[in-house]
Amino acid sequence: MSFISRELRPVFEKTISPLVDLLSKKGVHPNLITLGGFLLILAGSVTLYYKLLIVSFLLLGTGAVLDAVDGAVARKTGTNSEFGAFLDSTVDRFSDSLPFLSLGFMYAEEGEPYGTLLSFLALVGSFGVSYTRARAEALGVYGIGGAFERAERWITLLLGILLDLIPLALFIVAVGSIGTTVQRIYEVRKHMGRSGLGI
């Protein structure tokens, strides 16, 4: 777990606890929360394409919060399941990609090659971070960390949208994600011993 995630998680969990309690009492199923968060992120990505930055910030931010709430509701109500975890992880990958795809298309349409490149580098780096963890766990290697994980990506992107500094945010996400991917590859190699490549 990254430093920011480790430090902010207790504060964030305390902040969202009233929402978790409300949704739990209302009997809202965690899978429905997962899908609701995805739809908000989809809408936020569409408005981002049209440069409605404040609307996009609110939609994406709310969607990201719901994405974090679904697991807490599942644990609180005892409705957590293997399928729910699978659905959540799968939807997360789509949710992570949508804002970067939206920005990539926007910059491409405007003839901005650097913005387009940064958008897709951020997208590729984000998938690299997620994939290395999933593949490591499939190989029996758990607990690999990284300096720039999902929380950092979302915080950086949302701040970039709010402050109208999207290219800078994309640059940070791209560099941070690719760096974290390399860091995780190194960690897995350490756990598993030297590879056959002799590197």
The single residue of 67, 92, 96, 164 carrying the catalytic annotation is 92
164 noted as active-site residue: no
SS3 of the chain: the string is CCHHHHHHHHHHHHHHHHHHHHHHHHCCCHHHHHHHHHHHHHHHHHHHHCCCHHHHHHHHHHHHHHHHHHHHHHHHHCCCCHHHHHHHHHHHHHHHHHHHHHHHHHHHHCCCHHHHHHHHHHHHHHHHHHHHHHHHHHCCCCCCCCCCCHHHHHHHHHHHHHCCCHHHHHHHHHHHHHHHHHHHHHHHHHHHCCCCCCC
Which residues are designated catalytic? 92
